[in-house]
Amino acid sequence: MKTLFDMTNASYQKLSDLIEAEKATFAKVISDKTYSLEDRWATFVNAPDFLKNHECFAHEFKALDRDDICYEGRLVHCERYSKVTWDRVVTGILECGDFYKTDEDYESGNLCQEGIDIYNAVREEILENNIGSFEYDW
């Protein structure tokens, strides 16, 4: 005779398998460049957190300098072992004055070309790796 533990454990395993399958499908869709970056980004932003990867080590973005995300980071200030979410990284780019030509551009959110390139490259990398968050461990 099955115990209560056996029955609930089997249910949990089925649920876990279903979530992993959905997560794999989600990761495939958001990294599929046949869809526009904006469509894939909107899908990612609005998806539940459990579909995203949560890494236990610092992610080094190819488009960013190592000093952009650190204790005194240009884009994101992090304490050691703190959780860094995708939105903190993207917001850091949008709030960084280095990516605007004038104060008026900053106020209107009009990024310079370098800022646009970095913003898009970071979003692509977040989608490619399905990064929900990571732990800043430097």
Residue where the block lists tokens 């004038």: 102
Give the count of alpha carbons within 13 A of 103, CB side only: 0
Element (H, E) at 69: strand 69-70
Range(s) of the domain holding residue 29: 4-136
Write out pLDDT tens, residues 75-88: 788 788 888 888 88
pTM of the full predicted structure? 0.83
For 67, phi and psi rounded to 5 degrees?
-75, -5
107: left (phi over 0), alpha (psi -120 to 50) or beta: alpha
pLDDT tens profile 51-104: 999 988 778 888 887 777 777 777 788 788 888 888 888 998 888 888 889 999
Measure CA of the first residue to CA of the last residue in the chain; give whole Å: 51
Distance CA 17, CA 23 (A): 10
Does residue 46 or residue 99 have the better pLDDT?
46
pLDDT(11) > 90: no
Q: What pLDDT score does 124 carry?
A: 96
Question: How many structural domains compose the chain?
Answer: 1
